[in-house]
Chain A
Amino acid sequence: GENVEQHPSTLSVQEGDSAVIKCTYSDSASNYFPWYKQELGKRPQLIIDIRSNVGEKKDQRIAVTLNKTAKHFSLHITETQPEDSAVYFCAAIPYSSASKIIFGSGTRLSIRP
């Protein structure tokens, strides 16, 4: 089955700087890679996702890159703002099985004013 590793577990950046969170996965059949943001006491919400037919996807200040050969993908947040402070989770899902969706352990991002 799929195994997803995420790092760092905590990340503190100065407001306005960039933040990068990285995930590696084990199942080469995985082809869908979502990122979820969970604010304190709230539900996880999808912020961006990428499918294996593209190497990069961007949505305003957020981008995700995928390296299928190395089996890793990354979340990039530019021009960080206080509201970016949250826990971020990645996941990797094979198209053949949308059942057991395994999440990474999470990265707690703190934005310093």
Chain B
Amino acid sequence: GAGVSQTPSNKVTEKGKYVELRCDPISGHTALYWYRQSLGQGPEFLIYFQGTGAADDSGLPNDRFFAVRPEGSVSTLKIQRTERGDSAVYLCASSPGLGPGELFFGEGSRLTVL
């Protein structure tokens, strides 16, 4: 596709449920990032992939959060036992991966935990 695609765009779930958020990066981009953005805040780093491996997962808040990128393209962010505090917009971004450069963001997945 032409840009970074994220699905679902909106997800409403109940406390304690499991959710998966999907990111399809720009074709050929080796670097993929997940961020979380709460209302009125800047994007908060969660995890970074270079290819298939999680090069830096130091931003994941706890072990309920996990992300994979098995084939070096599509990534899935997985949240177990959701809590109300997990409600936020989850942004995915990709870049060519050749050193620091422009991040291309998706439109985000808005997660609401009731």
Which residues does A use to contact B, with CB under 8 Å? Answer: 6, 31-32, 34, 36, 42-46, 49, 89, 93-95, 98-106
Flag if A89 contacts B107 (CB, 8 Å). no
Flag if A100 contacts B48 (CB, 8 Å). yes
Which bucket holds chain B's interface residue count? Answer: 20 to 34
Give every chain B residue within 8 A of A105 (Cβ-Cβ): 41-42
Q: How far is the CA of A38 from the CA of B11 in the complex (A)?
A: 22
Residue B43 contacts which of A44, A93, A95 (CB distance < 8 angstroms)? A44
Which residues does B use to contact A, with CB under 8 Å? Answer: 31, 33, 35, 40-45, 48, 50, 55-56, 58-59, 91, 95, 97, 99-103, 105-108
Give every chain B residue within 8 A of A102 (Cβ-Cβ): 45
Flag if B91 contacts A34 (CB, 8 Å). no
Flag if B103 contacts A101 (CB, 8 Å). yes
Flag if A93 contacts B100 (CB, 8 Å). yes
Q: How far is the CA of A31 from the CA of B99 in the complex (A)?
A: 11
Known contacts: A43-B106, A43-B107. The answer to whether A98 contacts B91 by CB under 8 A is no
Flag if B43 contacts A103 (CB, 8 Å). yes
Flag if B45 contacts A44 (CB, 8 Å). no
Flag if A46 contacts B103 (CB, 8 Å). yes
B71 smallest CB distance to A (angstroms): 20
Give every chain B residue within 8 A of A31 (Cβ-Cβ): 100
Give every chain A residue within 8 A of B33 (Cβ-Cβ): 101
Give every chain A residue within 8 A of B42 (Cβ-Cβ): 6, 89, 103-106
Known contacts: A34-B102, A49-B102. The answer to whether A99 contacts B56 by CB under 8 A is yes
Q: How far is the CA of A27 from the CA of B64 in the complex (A)?
A: 30
Q: How far is the CA of A94 from the CA of B56 in the complex (A)?
A: 15
Q: How far is the CA of A105 from the CA of B41 in the complex (A)?
A: 6
Residue contacts A-B, CB under 8 angstroms, 7 given? A32-B101, A44-B91, A46-B102, A98-B99, A99-B48, A100-B56, A101-B48
